[in-house]
Amino acid sequence: MKICIIGGARPNFMKIAPIIKAIKKHNRFRRPPIDYLLVHTGQHYDENMSKFFFDDLEIPIPDINLEVGSASHAVQVAEIMLRFEKVCLNQNPTHVLVVGDVNSTIACALVATKLGIKIIHVEAGLRSFDRSMPEEINRVLTDAISDLLFTTEESANENLRREGISEGKINFVGNVMIDTLLFHKRKAEKSDILRKLGLMNLGKNSSKDKVDPYSVLTIHRPANVDEEDAFKNIIQGLSEIAKSIPIIFPIHPRTQNQIKEFRLESYFKWHSGNGSKFRKEDGIIDCIEPLGYLEFMKLMSNARLVLTDSGGIQEETTILGIPCVTIRENTERPVTVTNGTNVVAGVKKEGIIKAALAQLKRKSIPCTPALWDGKAAERILKAILREKEITSKQRDYVKEDAIS
Ligand code: UD1
């Protein structure tokens, strides 16, 4: 057995980290060891979108980097396929393990299936039912060709069953992203990002530092930022919220480009991040460079509110108990609404403002959906080894049958 693990874009890295950790632990104590190979597609390449995550999460340096970089979706997927096919032909993996729903996920899964290599999909079955999102297409197609599908919530199991995926392929194991969060929580607490951003307020009657109230924003989905009127409307809503509470915005490169493109700079101010006292300006959103994993976790954990269009952040805020407003029409992670702190606000400014003001009144209560307990990667490894045992028994049986 040889597993080729794929990481490509920022949200992949926190998902592959606990899986690699579980394999390393297995290899320290058990025999035979699991042979594995880490491939970075290079979909994300900026230091603060990739390298800092590898450092923070202690992910080994990839064995191979395909260095595909940015391009249109068709070109990006095609380039990954061309380059990854060569890797598969040279390395002969028995399994390709892909996570999440990014272009690297579908591209590598397609290569594997054409070569008859088994596909393991971690975070399978999530559905927004919105086919205009590139991630939804990536999810549906990857699941359709995967051999082992690992899910994070019950809705994902139901979606896969409805799509005709056989029960034997579906494994409800919990959430690897939450494995990473729980594992790194203590380390993240030590980050001094709040001081760097001037958010610490030295309490008058106590020597203990206190944190000023603030919210955190992340937004980068093409549907939200690529169309001028839609983006402007969202920004106007956020600017209104910024009159009630400061908004700290670690800004994704795509969004940064779009702000320039649509000349929306007047709504934003670059935050120095040099430790000087934070100064709130009514209606202005405070931009900072994208943060590494530990700094972002610390920033999010101490926020009063998180505004986002990310998928993973809806899950992380649920576990942290931080009220979350999702700036989208839907979520593929409904458990964060039914059992968590998330509210789906839509993409119109009135809805976003209303949801944010309501969420600001909500108490911070951590929630733990079923199996989000830090052990998902271990369950995944167990299931992979179980499947390997079954396949080799079947192979032996076929061999014996042929001999007799
Ligand atoms: C991708 C994922 C999305 C995920 C997001 C997290 C797909 C279809 N989308 O979107 O699901 O939530 O990553 O970040 O795979 N860029 C840089 N430096 C980088 C990477 C990107 O400057 O390291 C810029 C480029 O201008 C690029 C743009 O960001 O064109 C978009 O990057 P891309 O990887 O195409 O998609 P994301 O929007 O990041």
For residue 202, what pLDDT is reported?
Answer: 63
The CB of 139 under 6 Å from ligand 1? The reply is: no
- Is residue 156 a contact partner of residue 392, using CB atoms and an 8 Å limit? no
Ligand 1, pocket-test mutation among 102, 139, 332, most atoms within 8 A of CB? 102
- Is residue 328 a contact partner of residue 344, using CB atoms and an 8 Å limit? yes
Q: Is the dihedral of CA 285, 291, 297, 298 positive or negative?
A: negative
Q: 3-state class of 327 per DSSP?
A: coil
For residue 277, what pLDDT is reported?
Answer: 72
- Cis amide linkage into residue 32, ω under 30° from 0: yes
Q: Which residue has the tokens 């340096």?
A: 61
Helices (H) and strands (E) in the chain, counts: 16, 16
Q: Which atom of ligand 1 is nearest to the CA of 100?
A: 11
**Residue located nearest, by CA, to atom 3 of ligand 1:** 102
Q: Which atom of ligand 1 is nearest to the CA of 134?
A: 8
Nearest 5°: CA angle at 36, between 33 and 39? 170
DSSP-derived letter for residue 59 is P
State the Cα–Cα distance between residues 353 and 236, nearest whole angstrom: 10
- Tokens representing 262 are 């649509």
Q: From first to last of its 404 residues, what are the pLDDT tens digits of the chain? A: 999 999 999 999 999 999 999 999 999 999 999 999 999 999 999 999 999 999 999 999 999 999 999 999 999 999 999 999 999 999 999 999 999 999 999 999 999 999 999 999 999 999 999 999 999 999 999 999 999 999 999 999 999 999 999 999 999 999 999 999 999 999 999 999 999 999 987 655 555 568 999 999 999 999 999 999 999 999 999 999 999 999 999 999 999 999 999 999 999 999 877 777 777 778 999 999 999 999 999 999 999 999 999 999 999 999 999 999 999 999 999 999 999 999 999 999 999 999 999 999 998 899 999 999 999 999 999 999 998 887 777 777 776 776 66
Q: 3-state class of 343 per DSSP?
A: strand
**Residue located nearest, by CA, to atom 20 of ligand 1:** 44
**Residue located nearest, by CA, to atom 31 of ligand 1:** 254
Which residue(s) pair with 100 in the sheet? none
DSSP-derived letter for residue 388 is H
Nearest 5°: CA angle at 294, between 305 and 96? 105
For residue 220, what pLDDT is reported?
Answer: 97
Ligand 1, pocket-test mutation among 220, 224, 326, 327, most atoms within 8 A of CB? 220
Q: Tell me how far the alpha carbon of residue 29 lies from the centroid of ligand 1, in angstroms.
A: 38
The CB of 254 under 6 Å from ligand 1? The reply is: yes
Order the strands of the 305-308 sheet from edge to edge.
Answer: 268-270, 285-288, 247-250, 215-218, 305-308, 324-326, 342-344
For residue 42, what pLDDT is reported?
Answer: 98
Known catalytic residue at 95: no
**Residue located nearest, by CA, to atom 13 of ligand 1:** 9
**Residue located nearest, by CA, to atom 26 of ligand 1:** 254
